[in-house]
Structure 1
Amino acid sequence: MAIILFDDNARNTLLPLTYTRPVADLRIGILTIAEKWAKYLNSDFSFLTEAYLQAKFPLNIQDDNIFINGSVCPDETVVEAVNNLKSGEALRYNNTLIAVKLNDVYAANFGPLAKYSNETAYNNELVILTHPEDIFRKNDTELRKDFKLLTKGRKSAKLSSTNTIIGTEFFAEEGAQAECCSFSTINGPIYLAAHTEVWEGTNIRGPFALCEYSQIKMGTKIYGATTIGPYCRIGGEVNNAVVWGYSSKGHEGYLGNAVVGEWCNLGADTNNSNLKNNYGEVKLWDYPSQTMRNTGLQFCGLIMADHAKCGINTMFNTGSVVGVSANVFGGGYPPNYIPDFSWGGADGFVEYGFDKMMETTEKAIARRPHRKFDDAEKAILTKVYELTKPYRG
């Protein structure tokens, strides 16, 4: 049985985060959505996504296939409903197609907007990602679910006795290291993956997850619900943020109610505001409508797409969206929306030269010996550069 995770319209409303990946490759909780489904269903997976992404995220259709909406985060109840589908049957939540089981003939013509004669309504609550802020807003729920999924029936490795662990919902994989730190699980679980390091003097409150090969620097303060993806280095103060992987916030500064993509770098003393002075609801830039959209949230900080960077002392306004490969620097507050492949700051932006951007990206990725800036990665950035050109300037 092939598990195929498909993109629907959520792909557009989740931009700019989904310019460089399928929806199911978004990380929320501890795992990506695709990894969650793989764990629950004990199966490999592939993606049905934009054509320019398929080389990196291939599609694998077999004789029997279950198409699953990539914006849906699984739980035991919905997994049972999906497992019970027979060929030609579909599962729908309100107007959203959750899953459909198809043989290879019908699978070749699958579309996310298709209607099926044999549909079952799913009436239980679901975690579905629709907008970028949903990632940090629903991260608490997903952290708790993933913690149970990954630690069920297992015993935590022991950390050094120099640490203080408050509460019982703490789990460290073999190879996780920490010295002279405090971990409080009173408000939620804490998970340290293999080969992670938490340096001296760090204080962490759950729910929290630190993914493989990431480091937390000395004296860092982290509040839940926060996820640090693989191969990151984090310092300063972090609250309810999701940093996907291969990104650095290595110095002092505040990051809160935020999502930071892969290969990002936040310069020393970068801060984002997450609350307006008038305590009003925060608006975010909306790619489909090309206007500001009301989030309905009082706390909403920074949304930063892959390969974006900012210089030292950068100050982001409440509700800032930074596009793919944007480079932000200089004094003052830059605008709340910084288009993809832009270069500049509060005094204005120009287009980030494509060749210069590609050279920087290749150098950044070369710092991780197990990753390569291959033709598939280059083709994705080239296409995103073309797609976003009308929005610059």
Structure 2
Amino acid sequence: MNYILFDGAHRDSLLPFTYTRPVAEIRIGILTIREKWEQYLGITTTTVTEDYLSKKWPMVEMEHNIMISASYLPNPNLVEQIKNLKVGQALVHETEIVAFYTLEDEEKDLEDYQTIEIDSAPITVKHTWDIFSKNGDAIKEDYNLITEDRSSQPLSSSVFAVNPNNIFIEEGAKVFNVSLNAENGPIYIGKDAEVMEGSIIRGPFALCEHASTKLGTKIYGPTTVGPQSKVGGEVNNSVIFGYSNKGHDGFLGNSVLGEWCNIGADSNNSNLKNNYA
């Protein structure tokens, strides 16, 4: 079966991030949306997106295709329902198309499909604020997916750990003289990542491969630091897609940072106005 992820109706409400990437390339949790689907499906996916993005992310159509809205994150129940679709059938959530089975070059209105309601509501990414507000739940789901039937690298005796069974350290990661509290959610440290000395981290938290926290970093809650990124200072409930830096003191909260961005030293953002609105 050929699986194709399409941007769908929520692409515009995910601007500005979708100016430079399909919806499927948004990172939420540990993985991008595409990486999640490919892990569950066990196969490479392609994309239906804006024309100017399609040179980098082309669509590959075959004789039999299942189209999936990239605004929906996979879970075992949803993946099973999608795999069981037959030609001419579509999965819906309320009135929205989640996935449908189509043949090559078939021109058919979605109203002509036999619709099936999904069994349970998955995590959805339909607005920019969904990326950070649902990140904690997404980290937990990705953590279970990535670490299933695998063993973590051992924690150093220098690490103060709360609920260490909920902490996973990949090969090559450096984690010494830090505090890791996984009581409220898992902590995932990716391959060749580094948590520098004095860092204090509360889960859910994901530090992706080759990323790092600087000396004395404080992470308060559901936060993802994408690959090759650096963070320092205070960070709360934020997602950094990758290849970006907030490497110095200052506060970043309830935020999404794209790729190839740099936050200067002592920069601060506030999730409340001065009048507490």
Same fold (TM over 0.5): yes
Task: Give CA-to-partner distance per residue, 1:2-32, whole Å, 9 cap, x none.
Answer: 1100011210111111100001110000001
What letter corresponds to residue 15 of structure 1 in structure 2? L
How far apart, in 2, do the equivalents of 1:224 and 1:76 lie? 26
1:42 Cα deviation from its structure 2 partner? 0.8
How far apart, in 1, do the equivalents of 2:16 and 2:96 lie? 22
Identify the match of residue 218 of structure 1 among 212, 215, 218. Answer: 215
Identify the match of residue 251 of structure 2 among 244, 251, 254. Answer: 254
What letter corresponds to residue 78 of structure 1 in structure 2? L
What letter corresponds to residue 245 of structure 1 in structure 2? G
1:136 Cα deviation from its structure 2 partner? 0.3
Decide which moves more: 145-154 or 118-127.
Answer: 118-127
Matched, 1:133 2:125: no
Task: Give CA-to-partner distance per residue, 1:162-221, whole Å, 9 cap, x none.
Answer: 111210200011111111011010110000110101101001000000001001100000
Task: Give CA-to-partner distance per residue, 1:29-67, whole Å, 9 cap, x none.
Answer: 000111111111111100000000011111111121110
How far apart, in 2, do the equivalents of 1:269 and 1:44 lie? 42
The answer as to whether partners of 1:89 and 1:116 remain within 8 angstroms in 2 is: no
How far apart, in 1, do the equivalents of 2:196 and 2:113 lie? 57
How far apart, in 2, do the equivalents of 1:239 and 1:270 lie? 14
Task: Give CA-to-partner distance per residue, 1:212-260, whole Å, 9 cap, x none.
Answer: 1001100000022000000001110000000000000010000000000
Number of the residue aligned with 2:190 = 193
Task: Give CA-to-partner distance per residue, 1:94-149, whole Å, 9 cap, x none.
Answer: 1211001112132xx47xx8323311122522211111001000001101000000
How far apart, in 2, do the equivalents of 1:64 and 1:6 lie? 16
The answer as to whether partners of 2:66 and 2:100 remain within 8 angstroms in 1 is: yes
Identify the match of residue 201 of structure 2 among 176, 201, 204. Answer: 204
What runs of 5+ residues in structure 2 fail to find an aligned partner? none
How far apart, in 2, do the equivalents of 1:105 and 1:88 lie? 14
Q: Secondary structure at the match of 2:139?
A: helix
In the TM superposition, 1:81-96 aligns within 5 A as: 81-96=81-96
The answer as to whether partners of 1:24 and 1:33 remain within 8 angstroms in 2 is: yes
TM-score between the two structures when normalised by the length of structure 2? 0.97
The answer as to whether partners of 1:182 and 1:202 remain within 8 angstroms in 2 is: yes
How far apart, in 1, do the equivalents of 2:87 and 2:170 lie? 39
Matched, 1:21 2:24: no
Identify the match of residue 182 of structure 1 among 179, 183, 190. Answer: 179
Q: Secondary structure at the match of 2:183?
A: coil
TM-score between the two structures when normalised by the length of structure 1? 0.69
The answer as to whether partners of 1:159 and 1:177 remain within 8 angstroms in 2 is: no
Number of the residue aligned with 1:358 = none
C-alpha RMSD of the superposition: 1.2
How far apart, in 2, do the equivalents of 1:136 and 1:245 lie? 15
Number of the residue aligned with 1:116 = 112
The answer as to whether partners of 1:90 and 1:116 remain within 8 angstroms in 2 is: no
Number of the residue aligned with 1:44 = 44
1:154 Cα deviation from its structure 2 partner? 0.7
How far apart, in 2, do the equivalents of 1:34 and 1:216 lie? 26
Number of the residue aligned with 2:105 = 105
Identify the match of residue 148 of structure 1 among 144, 149, 161. Answer: 144
What letter corresponds to residue 42 of structure 1 in structure 2? G
Matched, 1:163 2:159: yes
How far apart, in 1, do the equivalents of 2:5 and 2:84 lie? 18
In the TM superposition, 1:30-69 aligns within 5 A as: 30-69=30-69
Task: Give CA-to-partner distance per residue, 1:233-291, whole Å, 9 cap, x none.
Answer: 111000000000000001000000000000000000010011123333xxxxxxxxxxx
How far apart, in 2, do the equivalents of 1:204 and 1:116 lie? 51
What letter corresponds to residue 119 of structure 1 in structure 2? T
What letter corresponds to residue 3 of structure 1 in structure 2? Y
Identify the match of residue 173 of structure 1 among 170, 175, 180. Answer: 170
The answer as to whether partners of 2:6 and 2:67 remain within 8 angstroms in 1 is: yes
How far apart, in 1, do the equivalents of 2:90 and 2:112 lie? 7
The answer as to whether partners of 1:237 and 1:254 remain within 8 angstroms in 2 is: yes
Which segments of structure 1 move beyond 2 Å, counting only runs of 4 or more?
Answer: 113-117, 276-280
How far apart, in 2, do the equivalents of 1:55 and 1:158 lie? 43
How far apart, in 2, do the equivalents of 1:66 and 1:159 lie? 42
The answer as to whether partners of 2:202 and 2:220 remain within 8 angstroms in 1 is: yes
How far apart, in 1, do the equivalents of 2:263 and 2:275 lie? 27
What runs of 5+ residues in structure 1 fail to find an aligned partner? 281-393
Identity %: 48
The answer as to whether partners of 2:237 and 2:254 remain within 8 angstroms in 1 is: yes
Q: Which has the higher contact order (CA 8 A, sep 6+)?
A: 2
